[in-house]
Structure 1
Amino acid sequence: MRHHLLALSLAIGLGIAGPALAQTATPSQPPLTALTKDSGTPEPAEQKRVHFDHAELHIAVKPATQSIAASATLTFSALAPTDVLLVDLDRNLPVSAISVDGKALPASAWSNPEGRLRIQLPHAVAKGGKVNATIAYGGKPHVAKKAPWDGGFVWSHTKDGQPWVGSAVEGEGCDLFWPCVDQPDGKPDLVDLYVTVPKPLVAPGNGVLVGVTEQGDTRTYHWRAKHPTTYAISINVGPYQELKGEYHSRYGNTIPLYYWYLPGEETQAKALFAEFPHMLDFFEAKIGPYPWGDEKMGVVETPYEGMEHQTINAYGNHYAKDGNGFDWLLQHEFSHEWFGNQMTNANWDDMWLHEGFATLMQPLYARYLDGDAAYYAWLNRLRMMVGNRHPVVSGQPRTEEEVYDDSRGGPGQDIYNKGALMLQTLHHLIGDKAFYDSIRELVYGRPDPKPGNFQPQYRTTADYMRIVDQVTGKDYDWFFKVYLYQAALPRLDVQRHNGTLDLRWQAPANLPFPMPVEVQVDDAVHTVPMTDGHGSLAVPAGALVTIDPHSVLLRDEPRITEFQQWMRQHRKAAKP
């Protein structure tokens, strides 16, 4: 998602310059309505009456005019009787015609004043019935000022002046360029995407390539994707060259690998492509089968930094080297094939389920490649960026912006950094087997995933809390209620006197927090139970004592607060 903010946060927090991003001039354009600008606004009852079966999208991309000409045939099953269809679509893409079940509607049968297209059906649809609507629309889609931090199209050019186009709409939602249900749980079961582009441009897309047809000076790419995340449908157009290969999975299936890159970058592209099998092997060993193995693992170079578009991850990291030994952006986006595309948060309030797990996968992957030094270096960087200004989870439905925007009470980057560190603490608390069992249940809905035996999952924070209790046979609500539902971190008070080490947790809101604490006394490591939030340990006079010697506890630490305050002052003083 907008996880590329992680790189920016790392750069700011550690005083390192970030990578240059592709810049595109933003033309004058009409403003978005409040409804279109925010993804995940309260879903009207009319949308809840139907299930989204299929979207057939025909989008002609016209770089010369920075416009699209499009039609969408949407098929729904009625969960309850309905005489209306509501879909989200930016009103700045005018609708020219609508037909329902093949019959044209008069213009008076639809309206779209605020970005939610209302279609009055010519007849009511009974529960269990089906209805399809074909919507013709087009115009100039909203242009992102600085994708992916804000959503829209990016109209750019390669070094030799050829069109290079991409879409990134996670923040504002799918309705920026196609009529959809702009909710995390609004996925269609199947999408057929036809993208028409001027020759000789190429249009990589989601899922499987069904075919390519040519007409005059254009060609049309037909892509088919199952259960795509709403904001993960993407448009990519450029003079791409293609690398392809195969990955033979430990689960017995063969996964197609594709990378579309710009001409002149073959050496760098091949080096990045060589990372694909290592990433697949890590995730399949740690988590489980790649969810889209019968489609592809695809990556496309984009004129913006990145986004987890399902089976066609956007990559714009300029092949940067940072000493980690792997491309952090590619690895993070790829994590979302499990944490975001296969397992999707049911509401934006649960967004940490995407970002916390995906962020944790980076230090774990670093350890897999290079050992403990790389692992702890990653964790330390994450810890320096935890903000603790607002709870990670509010317990109430929220929009995307309400989660990402600190000024609106959202946790912002804490869904990445605090989420990952909280999970690292949980991992140590419940043990390796229970931790990975809980992840498999969360992601696949079963403990024994194999290709073909699982379906995509919608999940909430409460679901994961229940799963952890289920796999451990214990009640860990106390853990999540402190780390996720409170802004402040628990503080560990440490006192040493008369040969005794006294430890006491001070949790926010005086909540119970019986978190065991490891203490190293000289060369021996002891675990203090802390059953009621308090514990003690006899220590000889003169012994060297280290609290939490393996750095597994996420807690309030003065050294980090002092560093963060110093960095804020340093940045403020550096401003002209």
Structure 2
Amino acid sequence: MRLGALLSFRALGAAALTCALTGPALAQTADVPLATRTGESDLPLTVNQAATGLDALDLALRVDPASTTIAGTARYSLTALAPLARLDFDLDPRFAISAVLVDGAAVPAERWRNDKGLFSVDLADTAAKGTRIALEIRYAGRPHKAIKPPWQGGFVWSQTPSGQPWIATAVQGEGCDLIYPCIDNSQKRIGVIDAAVTVPAPLVAAGNGKFVGRSDEAGWTTWKWQTRNLNTYALALNIGPYETVERTYRSRFGNSFPVQFWHLPGNGAKAAALVDQMVGFLDFFERTIGPYPAGAEKVGLVETPHLGMEHQTINAYGNDFKLAPEGFDWLMHHEFAHEWFANQLAETEPKHMWLQEGLGSYMQPLYLEQTRGTLNYHVSLWDMRKKIVAKVPLVPEGRLSSAYYNDKDAGWGGDIYYKGAWIAHTLRGLIGDRAFFATLRRVTYGRDDPRPGNFVPVYRTSDDFRRETEKASGKDLAWFFDAYLRQGPLPRLSATRNGKRLDLAWTTAGGTPFPMPVEVRVGQRIVRATMTGGRGSVPLGEDLTDFTLDPANRILRDDPAITAWQAQEKAASEAKAKTAAAQ
């Protein structure tokens, strides 16, 4: 989710990249532009990257707030998945590399290079398939500063209200190579990461995974963390004068694990209240989808000087403890959904991002339905529906351009959130709860019976989702996914009175079949038109005008009223901006 998983259906529209960020001193000096390769994540793997197995990483980082620099040593344990003559990694070229070692031996400078972010090491001899390789890279420098975190990411060098260093990273769009040498592709997770982060005492470095110890040395403290199968952009640095609130969660699946929140001094009571909410969120997700994916580690939250990000087991939180009218923290709920839809179920490539963002966004209406009733469910969906633009396909052909991420007119805007959530709502209405939730479980865990310890992260495409849906429902649903994912405009339903009969017809932008059944309220009755071939009819009563199409609002379809309202709002916004500019 290259928009940062923060375009809430509650408060942010399709172009909402102007959300106010919490915390003081966020303004930073503009950084030099990122190298092309460094500035974009999930580029196609090189042949050498595809052939490199990432078994383990021992990462040591020293973070100096005074100079806004870092110094790191990355020690990799690798396996050649095919014959390898060269190792390729990604690393921001602004870092100076002081040494490269392979199997403990220094590599001469002429055998390694960083070509605009592609860091390569020529091996002395071609490694045969199955060969284990130890790679060590020592580097240092001033990392890229985030311009508008988390949407334009990097390092955030901030200060707490009391003037102490407050540091965070958010690099989803740009990738892990802004922090350490990595293979910046979502399908190249590292088996085990041991991260040791050294910071000036008495600062705390909260990290991913399990806390495994700390050590103190001459005014510096090293905080040590271990995590497994980490989402590539999810490794995060979070440094500040943190205090901690902790609860133990006892899962319905029989395991227990900590829920921990690293917060700034003075926010303990608010943090404790949010942790209590998290316990409720956990029970909802485990009841609705399945086991918490990182139950062997922790549920982690950390207060950050930017709005938020779904960093695996250490979710960034900067929503200033604001409650929605329904009494819960929408931001934390959304970010936490990504522990399932991003960190457990991951897209194979960015064009399938709706699987993470759309399904993650749909979790909020579901949560409200279960905790507050159907009115809240439908209100939250209606709030989303007003923001669906539906100009371009959710799943385009070929590789995505940057416009798909960032251009509100030529690209997705917020559709991967809102349209994605409405696709889930419509699908649920079409195939029923049993098949729908079975699909979610299967596509998320790769099995029907997930239990702690019997699953690993899975990578999915939109076609994978379709196949699991068809398997669970017993229906051929190619027409459904063609219309909603591979065409921009929404299906249009026309209704024509023909004597005492109402004739109905679906049309799609691509002219593809769309046999979506339609309910019609006729007087006091609900009549269902099967719409074979995209056409159907229902008998009308004596009052030929007393009918409502899709009275339960189950179907995502073109709505001229919303389109007209969106145009009105856009014109008013542009006029206001023009007046402000003139003044």
* Distance across 2 between alignment mates of 1:162 and 1:411: 39
* Distance across 1 between alignment mates of 2:131 and 2:194: 22
Asked if structure 2 preserves the Cα contact closer than 8 Å seen for 1:260 and 1:300, the reply is yes
Corresponding residue to 2:59 among 49, 57, 60: 57
Task: Please tell me the root mean square deviation across aligned C-alpha atoms, in Å.
Answer: 1.8
Shift of 1:79: 1.1
Residue of structure 1 in register with 2:442 after alignment: 441
Asked if structure 2 preserves the Cα contact closer than 8 Å seen for 1:152 and 1:169, the reply is yes
Residue of structure 1 in register with 2:494 after alignment: 493
What secondary structure, in the 3-state scheme, does the structure 2 residue paired with 1:230 have? coil
Per-residue CA deviations over 1:163-211 (Å, capped at 9, x if unaligned) read 0000000011111111111111121111111111111000110000111
Corresponding residue to 2:264 among 262, 265, 269: 262
Asked if structure 1 preserves the Cα contact closer than 8 Å seen for 2:101 and 2:136, the reply is yes
Residue of structure 2 in register with 1:323 after alignment: 325
Which deviates further from its counterpart, 18-27 or 227-236?
18-27
Residue of structure 1 in register with 2:158 after alignment: 156
Residue of structure 2 in register with 1:211 after alignment: 213
Residue of structure 1 in register with 2:393 after alignment: 391
Per-residue CA deviations over 1:114-159 (Å, capped at 9, x if unaligned) read 1010111122111011112100001111000110011100000001
* Aligned length, in residue pairs: 575
Residue of structure 2 in register with 1:184 after alignment: 186
Alignment of 1:77-476 (within 5 A): 77-398=79-400, 401=402, 403-406=404-407, 410-476=411-477
What secondary structure, in the 3-state scheme, does the structure 2 residue paired with 1:159 have? coil
Alignment of 1:17-56 (within 5 A): 19-22=20-23, 23-56=25-58
Letter matched to residue 465 of structure 2: Y
Per-residue CA deviations over 1:353-376 (Å, capped at 9, x if unaligned) read 100000000111111221112111
What secondary structure, in the 3-state scheme, does the structure 2 residue paired with 1:60 have? strand
Name stretches of at least 5 consecutive residues in structure 2 with no aligned partner: none
Pair 1:463–1:13, CA change in 2 (3 A):
closer
* Distance across 1 between alignment mates of 2:71 and 2:315: 24
* Distance across 2 between alignment mates of 1:313 and 1:94: 30
What secondary structure, in the 3-state scheme, does the structure 2 residue paired with 1:447 have? coil
Letter matched to residue 464 of structure 2: D
Asked if structure 2 preserves the Cα contact closer than 8 Å seen for 1:306 and 1:317, the reply is yes
Residue of structure 2 in register with 1:517 after alignment: 518
What secondary structure, in the 3-state scheme, does the structure 1 residue paired with 2:261 have? strand
* Distance across 1 between alignment mates of 2:185 and 2:29: 28
Residue of structure 2 in register with 1:480 after alignment: 481
What secondary structure, in the 3-state scheme, does the structure 1 residue paired with 2:204 have? coil
Asked if structure 2 preserves the Cα contact closer than 8 Å seen for 1:490 and 1:506, the reply is yes
Identity %: 43
* Distance across 2 between alignment mates of 1:412 and 1:560: 16
TM-score between the two structures when normalised by the length of structure 1: 0.97
What secondary structure, in the 3-state scheme, does the structure 1 residue paired with 2:166 have? strand
* Distance across 1 between alignment mates of 2:410 and 2:387: 17
Per-residue CA deviations over 1:66-100 (Å, capped at 9, x if unaligned) read 11010101222111100110000000011110000
Letter matched to residue 54 of structure 1: A
What secondary structure, in the 3-state scheme, does the structure 1 residue paired with 2:199 have? strand
Asked if structure 2 preserves the Cα contact closer than 8 Å seen for 1:7 and 1:18, the reply is no
What secondary structure, in the 3-state scheme, does the structure 1 residue paired with 2:532 have? coil
What secondary structure, in the 3-state scheme, does the structure 1 residue paired with 2:377 have? helix
Pair 1:18–1:412, CA change in 2 (3 A):
closer
Asked if structure 2 preserves the Cα contact closer than 8 Å seen for 1:147 and 1:304, the reply is yes
Shift of 1:498: 1.0
* Distance across 1 between alignment mates of 2:218 and 2:268: 30
TM-score between the two structures when normalised by the length of structure 2: 0.96
* Distance across 1 between alignment mates of 2:114 and 2:407: 31
* Distance across 1 between alignment mates of 2:553 and 2:207: 42
What secondary structure, in the 3-state scheme, does the structure 2 residue paired with 1:232 have? coil
* Distance across 2 between alignment mates of 1:173 and 1:229: 11
* Distance across 1 between alignment mates of 2:187 and 2:403: 17
Residue of structure 2 in register with 1:6 after alignment: 7
Pair 1:244–1:79, CA change in 2 (3 A):
same
Per-residue CA deviations over 1:12-49 (Å, capped at 9, x if unaligned) read 57999954434523235332111111111222111111
Shift of 1:411: 2.0
Letter matched to residue 517 of structure 1: V
Letter matched to residue 122 of structure 1: A
Letter matched to residue 242 of structure 1: T
Asked if structure 1 preserves the Cα contact closer than 8 Å seen for 2:362 and 2:421, the reply is yes
Residue of structure 1 in register with 2:72 after alignment: 70
Runs ≥4 in structure 1, deviation > 3 angstroms? 1-5, 7-23, 407-410
Letter matched to residue 140 of structure 1: R
Name stretches of at least 5 consecutive residues in structure 1 with no aligned partner: none
Asked if structure 1 preserves the Cα contact closer than 8 Å seen for 2:9 and 2:417, the reply is no
* Distance across 2 between alignment mates of 1:408 and 1:74: 43
Letter matched to residue 364 of structure 1: L
* Distance across 2 between alignment mates of 1:153 and 1:396: 31
What secondary structure, in the 3-state scheme, does the structure 2 residue paired with 1:38 have? coil
Pair 1:226–1:4, CA change in 2 (3 A):
closer
* Distance across 2 between alignment mates of 1:236 and 1:14: 28
